[in-house]
Structure 1
């Protein structure tokens, strides 16, 4: 049986949020805590990724808001929006990868709307994630399944200094592909400098 990790939201203040940035296409974006009003847009992004693309998340079902809530909204969630239009272009959750005595190691799940990919939104969120995860009290970050076919994700974690600690052969039967290996990445969050993001 897989781990059961109790739902819990942090009560930590992150004084550097909201965090603003500019993507490669010149779009000004802001990263902040998820709000209930973001639910439908965030759900639709993940639903599309799981059902239509089927090549980056292990789930093969994400049809209902209940599915989405229990998986994606169980812990801390952050969203990235276009400042001018208010459009939600992506987001990520941060939650323990393991229960109890190992709950100081977190996991995250990043999603970016198709029309906003290739402009650095993932990098903007990933860089912020490291500081956020550390400030939420986690000591390490562990990604269990980064499919080798997800080249942009693999490249991003290597660029940010994650250590590749394993490979899971034939980890997923992805849409339009044969069985695909997955890489595992770890980051020691205690090595981050104690700086406040601006």
Structure 2
């Protein structure tokens, strides 16, 4: 568990902890608008709650975690993440992860904290690196956050993502050693 305290009294603190099945309704409340918008994740925009649950709450060796509010926001799920092997077999030593944050808590460091937590969890699980296969290049805040945590853009696949407003944009493959 990782706790994030803040000195800014307008920004509540949070803890990153493993998700419990009872967190699912709050997690789906975060995932559904992101999936429906189709701007930052490569998921089918018609993904159902059941399909999302199966995909996000992966069984071991994967793990799902949440950023849960502290203090007056105790119990509020501010964001969520998941961690799993990027590939099987000979590629199983490289992790992959994804993160989504409730709109009310975006821009406050929650996604960055979720990523930092996943890097520690991946290292503890024996992964040697982490790779993001499809970071939408127009998601500049995410790209900057991941770069600040040591990820490099190794390649950009041109026009690999159909953004609902911007048309075809690139997908970055991002990587860092653990």
The TM-score with structure 2 as length reference comes to: 0.90
Decide whether aligned partners of structure 1 residues 131 and 165 sit closer, same or farther in structure 2, where only a CA change above 3 A counts.
same
Deviations 1:13-72 (A, max 9, x none): xxxx2x211255430211100101101111121111010x21100112354232112211
Distance in 1, Cα, partners of 2:170 & 2:47: 26
Which of 16, 22, 32 does residue 47 from structure 1 map onto?
A: 32
Residue 140 (1) aligns with residue 134 (2): no
RMSD: 1.4
The range that moved more, 139-148 or 120-129, is 120-129
Asked whether the equivalents of residues 104 and 140 of structure 1 are also in contact (C-alpha less than 8 Å), the reply is yes
Deviations 1:134-189 (A, max 9, x none): 11221110001111100011101111111221111111111212101011111111
Size of the aligned set, in residue pairs, is 171
Look up the match of 1:10.
none
Distance in 1, Cα, partners of 2:52 & 2:92: 22
Which of 115, 125, 137 does residue 126 from structure 1 map onto?
A: 115
Distance in 1, Cα, partners of 2:96 & 2:29: 21
Which of 68, 72, 77 does residue 81 from structure 1 map onto?
A: 68
Which of 64, 68, 78 does residue 52 from structure 2 map onto?
A: 68
* Unaligned stretches of 5+ residues in structure 1: 1-16, 190-198
Look up the match of 1:195.
none
Look up the match of 2:41.
57
Asked whether the equivalents of residues 62 and 68 of structure 1 are also in contact (C-alpha less than 8 Å), the reply is no
Distance in 2, Cα, partners of 1:168 & 1:70: 28
Look up the match of 1:5.
none
* Unaligned stretches of 5+ residues in structure 2: none
The range that moved more, 63-72 or 136-145, is 63-72
Secondary structure in 2 matching 1:41: helix
Asked whether the equivalents of residues 77 and 92 of structure 1 are also in contact (C-alpha less than 8 Å), the reply is yes
Look up the match of 1:34.
19
Asked whether the equivalents of residues 153 and 173 of structure 2 are also in contact (C-alpha less than 8 Å), the reply is yes
The TM-score with structure 1 as length reference comes to: 0.82
Asked whether the equivalents of residues 163 and 186 of structure 1 are also in contact (C-alpha less than 8 Å), the reply is yes
Q: Moved runs in structure 1, 4+ residues, more than 6 A?
A: none
Distance in 2, Cα, partners of 1:55 & 1:61: 10
